[in-house]
Amino acid sequence: MIGRAKELVILNEALTSDRAEMIVVYGRRRVGKTYMIEEFYNRPNCCLVSLIGQSGANMSTQLSNAKNRLLDKHGIACNEAKNWSELFDGIKNYHQSIKNEHENFVLFIDELPWIATARSGFVGALSYIWNSYFEKHQNVTVVLCGSAASWMVKKVIEEKGGLHQRITRQIPLYPFNLQESEAYLKERGFHYLSRKEIVDV
């Protein structure tokens, strides 16, 4: 994966650690956050379960989206969940049912700022399931990802309540520099572009 060597080292260290991990990944849109996470954890010894926030959606819609995704993509039935706590209970039950089949279990929450609105109860529910269950299983990794970098820093990393002192690693993801962009485009077959043309792209 071009241009992400340092970030991959952090992810690999977390994957092979002897404790549960909660990783925060943040950076502006279209720098490859989702791609990096999904590609890294796309391996035989990992079970990757993901939730994706929707811009501007209310809690009811976010919860419905999460339930549909869990069922359609992962076969996890949480249809009766009325709130985030009950949804996380469903994910916990799923982990209990498959924990002997996979070396690592990863819960990837993408676009967290869109889900964790002020009255959603999302952060409180996540904090509770982390403290009561996930933290006790060393093969569990929770990845929190967001494009609103200032929100991620203020509401997750520096926040004194909720997830305070739960974060084990941070990955700020930046756009490619010129050299990385050149390598990326060459890998994609654009060998004919000059550096000036790459900058213009």
Average pLDDT of the residues of the chain: 88
pLDDT greater than 80 at residue 199: no
pLDDT band at 175 (very low <50, low <70, confident <90, very high): confident
Closest CA to 112 of 88, 141, 61, 146: 146
CB 57 within 8 A of CB 114: yes
CB 122 within 8 A of CB 115: yes
Closest CA to 135 of 95, 86, 83, 80: 95
Q: Kindly tell me the burial class for residue 65, based on how many C-beta atoms sit within 10 Å of its own C-beta (0-12, 13-18, 19 or more).
A: middle
pLDDT greater than 90 at residue 191: no
Closest CA to 126 of 85, 164, 95: 85
| Residue 144 bridge partners (DSSP) | 24, 109
pLDDT top residue among 200 and 97? 97
Q: Does domain 5-176 have CATH number 3.40.449.10?
A: no
Q: What is the mean pLDDT of residues 141-152?
A: 95
pLDDT top residue among 195 and 21? 21
CB 83 within 8 A of CB 140: no
36 Cβ partners below 8 Å, 6+ apart? Answer: 1, 4, 7, 8, 25, 173
Domain range annotation of the chain: 5-176
The proportion of the chain whose per-residue pLDDT surpasses 70, expressed as a percent, equals 86
pLDDT greater than 90 at residue 123: yes
**How far is Cα 48 from Cα 132, in angstroms, rounded to an integer?**
21
pLDDT tens, residue by residue, 47-103 = 999 999 999 999 999 999 999 999 999 999 999 999 999 999 999 999 999 988 788
